[in-house]
Chain A
Amino acid sequence: MKSPIFKTVLLAILFGATLAGVKTYYQYQGSKSETAKLYQNIGGDFSLTHIDGPFDLQRLKGKPSVLYFGFASCPDICPLSLNKLVKAFDAIEPELHKRVQKVFISVDYKRDDAKKVHEYGKYFATDFISLAGTEEQIKDITKKYAVHFEFVPLENSAMKYTVDHTSRFFLLDKYGQVFNSYSDIIYDGQFKLDLIEVLK
């Protein structure tokens, strides 16, 4: 027979835990609503080129996607980021690879074409969707997704120029709408929570 004090303490702990759970739930719902507001004006349809032909947002609908903008000649940041894109799913659940589309978009319309980015993306994962575009197409999609890119001349370099660019991952839901974005998806716990949400 437990003492009344024990029962009271137990009830208090249960009550506290319930309150904390409710608070966390509403905080998450609140942050989701804030995030939705933040991203309601970002994203939208685009027109790019895949190695198999023209590619637009319609082709991504039906499954969630993660988009990353970069360029193939980027020696460090882009390979590391694309590798993170693969590892992030491994860390959560390897099976997610099939359920989430991984998309690499090159902003370097001067150097990268659909064939080059396809070869590049394939190195990280065979199911990578790698896309290139014309100057007009890249300017259009980067404006819609609030991605900064800028060609910067390297005067004494054999590289001629580099491309400054936003390094950010965009999570799109199965309707092709931007759900959230992240500077890092390995260590950002929110990415995992959002992924569960968009996979519902």
Chain B
Amino acid sequence: MKVISLFLLFSLFSGLDLQAQVIEDAWIKKPLPGLKMTAAYMLIVNPTDKELVLEKITGPDALYYEIHTHKSENGIMKMRQLKSIKIAPKSKHELKPMGDHIMVMQTNNELPNKLKTTMTLYFKGQKPKEINLEVKKSL
């Protein structure tokens, strides 16, 4: 019984520690007319001593959420898919226009009319984290 209690206590505190990542300024671009895709951005803060790895994203307003990045090489713009985003201990990682971003595809018809939406972020080894995002006109 003591062992089980200790295990539950340990799990509880581990859970609290692992949920310590902070998401700030999360927003998603209102999809442009005729398009079923857009991108989302945010600042991920990792105040812990462990590396954070964002591996997957889901949400209610689109079928697909993927991690992508942009790079410019000799004036050529390139977009590529990433498997994950790693946030080093005690550091921040910004998802921003022209950089790393969450590509949101097959958006539903409701998203352009919403002021807010949600996403669930899956960090490796952690409980899913639901976040709120402001839907903003992109320009």
Contact = CB atoms under 8 A, between A and B. Distances in A.
Interface of A: 72-77, 79-80, 83, 115-116, 119-120, 122-124, 148, 152, 154, 156-159, 162, 164-168, 183
A73 B75 contact: no
A165 B78 CA distance: 7
Given A124-B139, A159-B81, A168-B75, 14 more contacts: A72-B32, A72-B34, A75-B38, A76-B70, A76-B79, A77-B70, A79-B139, A120-B32, A158-B63, A158-B64, A159-B37, A159-B105, A162-B79, A166-B77
Given A79-B138, A116-B34, A165 B76 contact: yes
A77 B32 contact: no
10 contacts: A73-B37, A75-B38, A75-B68, A79-B138, A83-B139, A120-B34, A156-B81, A157-B64, A159-B81, A164-B79
A152 B76 CA distance: 13
A4 to B, nearest CB: 57
Interface residues of B, number: 29
At the interface, is chain B mostly helix, strand, loop or mixed?
strand
Interface of B: 29, 32-35, 37-39, 63-64, 66, 68, 70, 72, 75-81, 97-98, 101, 103, 105-106, 138-139
